[in-house]
A and B are shown apart, each in its own frame.
Chain A
Amino acid sequence: MAAVISVKNLTYEYNVGTPSCSVALDNVSLDIEKGDFIGLIGHTGSGKSTLVQHLNGLIKPTKGTVYLNGNDIHSDKKATREARFKVGLCFQYPEYQLFEETVAKDIAFGPRNMKLPENEITSRVVKAAMYVGLKKEHMEKSPFDLSGGEKRRAAIAGVMAMEPEVLIFDEPTAGLDPKGRDVILSLVKNYQTQTGCTVILVSHSMEDIARVADKVIVMNKGRVEMYGDVKTVYADCDRLSAIGLNVPQVTKVFSLLKEKGLEFSDDVYTVEQGFNVLSEYLKRRDLND
């Protein structure tokens, strides 16, 4: 499949020319294929956020190039602006960007900046609200009257309404309770399966990524440490823990059980999968008895 975003030898340095100069990204090259759901994981300061801000042209690289569908996004102003619309970026705590009088108007902010016709804007707003599960009665409220979780969903809808080819979420579940986290993750997953667009999910949580992503990029100290499908990357336990990332607790439990001689598969990354594997095992055991 064709790469929708292609990053070549990307280097970014903060505060160039001052004593506090530091390298945030160090010669990063990677291809992101169309239609993939990619998890981007790494420690605080590993360069995750800096990398995703390069992908829609918010940050200009110190060295290297970002190609979107084969075009350099910094070749001219028009290309950069196009990248903004084709690569949607939803920041951490996106609810702090809400500003309009009503939720509907706020979701329409992106499409309106794209200079779309009015009826197209309206239909996109309705569609985006549907994806995030906002009801009709929410749409005419002030965004500041919504609950915390609703605010976040409204803000996510604001990015979805631009209908980008690539949608990037920078830690969309930060600061939410487990239930809120589940809601956001499943709506992101649903959106991806329904529209077939490319999604990049930045997260701290190996378990969250295992639950929704097909591929994983592991970043460490401004470099891409690993890039592959979930199973391959998560199998390399030693390498992950060497850079301070831990495989999900369930995975650990199951690999310990395997060591004890029970026959389990290696690829258990979420509690749900664990539950299925265990109940199957118990069924089998009952049958044998």
Chain B
Amino acid sequence: MIKDITIGQYFLGNSFLHRMDARMKIILTFALIIAIFVCKSIPSLLLMVAITVFLVAVSSVPFKMVLKSIKPIAIIVVFTGILNLFYVTGGKTLFEWSFIHITTKGIFTAVFMAVRIICLVVISSLLTYTTTPTMLTDAIERLLSPLKVFKIPVHTLAMMMTLALRFIPTLIEEIDRISNAQKARGADLDSGGLIEKVKALIPIIVPLFVSSIRRAYELADAMDCRCYVGGDGRTRMKQMKLKGSDFVSLLVTAVLIAGLILLNHYFTKVI
């Protein structure tokens, strides 16, 4: 059960997306996500879908893994689709029965929202598929570094994120170990009602907290021993440098988004 969780789901590869500068990747991902919600006409939405498909194709991430990232949100997609179908009114009425009105605008909204959510999830999961968690936090730290002016501890925040990601697999292992130990003492984790099930978690959660806190102290000591003092005056082993290809991607994305806006402008908006 617990092994199905995939956070920091990096997929090893050497595609164009893998090689792109992580900072640029984050910025372009954000730009595309905003662009998704600009699409209001059918051609612009189609272009957005085409961009998404293209990105998946060049990422060298297997199609199966991309599907896996959509699976958890399937319920949300269906749910918002149904809500939009029944509650958005406008355009031609196609079907009417007591309180139910189904209109053309309702159908379009439902379809648009579904496609938008799927595009959004696929694009953002491509970011985590093609960037290692350390690269990602590194890039976030640099993108946020202007905030230092306002005395926001950007480096500390980024370090916290890195550590949190680093310890997810360790904690999963720990949970496995503790729950085996308690099962060996006859703990019954699977049967019983909701309250019994929650109660049955106490013998796992308490040791987990204790060992997490102990681990945190040990880690802090280890960092102290290696003279860690935070971000001030700290240099980097890996320098990030924007390459020519990164600027080309920026340019292409800008052109595509401009195209989207134009397509929006010249075709009828359906929602």
> Which A residues have a C-beta under 8 Å from some C-beta of B?
53, 56, 58, 81, 84-85, 88-91, 94, 96-99, 109-110, 113-114, 144, 158-159, 162
Contacts and interface: CB of A to CB of B under 8 A. Distances in A.
B207 A99 contact: yes
A4 to B, nearest CB: 17
9 contacts: A53-B180, A58-B180, A91-B181, A96-B178, A96-B181, A97-B181, A109-B187, A110-B185, A113-B187
Please name the 7 residue pairs, one residue from A and one from B, whose CB atoms are nearest each other, closest first.
Answer: A113-B186, A99-B206, A97-B181, A110-B185, A89-B184, A91-B181, A99-B203
Interface in B139-183: 177-178, 180-183
Contact of B185 (A81, A144, A158): A158
A96 B186 contact: no
A159 B206 CA distance: 18
Given A99-B203, A99-B206, A85 B186 contact: yes
B248 interface: no
B185 A113 contact: yes
Contacts of A162: 185-186
A110 B186 contact: yes
Contacts of A81: 186, 188
Contact of B177 (A56, A88, A91, A109): A91
Interface string B114-158: 000000000000000000000000000000000000000000000
User: Which of B184, B186, B203, B210 counts the most chain A CB atoms within 10 A?
Assistant: B184
Nearest to B205: A99
B229 interface: no
B207 A159 contact: no
A157 to B, nearest CB: 11
Contacts of B188: 81, 113
Interface string B211-224: 10000000000000
Contacts of B202: 99
Contact of A96 (B183, B185, B207): B207
A198 to B, nearest CB: 16
Given A91-B177, A109-B203, A144-B210, A97 B182 contact: yes
B185 A109 contact: yes
B1 to A, nearest CB: 15
Given A81-B188, A109-B185, 16 more contacts: A58-B180, A81-B186, A84-B186, A90-B184, A91-B180, A91-B181, A91-B184, A97-B181, A97-B185, A99-B202, A109-B186, A113-B185, A113-B187, A158-B185, A159-B184, A159-B185
A268 to B, nearest CB: 36
Contacts of A89: 184
A223 to B, nearest CB: 24
Contacts of B206: 99
B207 A97 contact: yes
A139 B207 CA distance: 19
Contacts of B207: 96-99
Contact of A114 (B183, B186, B211): B186
Contacts of A84: 183-184, 186
Nearest to A107: B185
Nearest to A58: B180
B119 to A, nearest CB: 30
B171 to A, nearest CB: 13
Nearest to B174: A96
A109 B200 CA distance: 11
Contact of B184 (A88, A96, A99, A144): A88
A261 B202 CA distance: 63
Nearest to B188: A113
Nearest to B214: A96
Contact of A56 (B182, B184, B187, B211): B184
Nearest to A114: B186
A50 B186 CA distance: 19
Contact of B211 (A88, A90, A96, A113): A96
Nearest to B185: A110
Interface string B15-39: 0000000000000000000000000
Nearest to B200: A113
Contacts of A110: 185-186
A144 B210 CA distance: 9
Nearest to B187: A113
Contacts of A85: 186
A161 B184 CA distance: 12
A144 B188 CA distance: 24
A162 to B, nearest CB: 7
Q: Most B CB atoms within 10 A — which of A58, A94, A99, A158?
A: A99
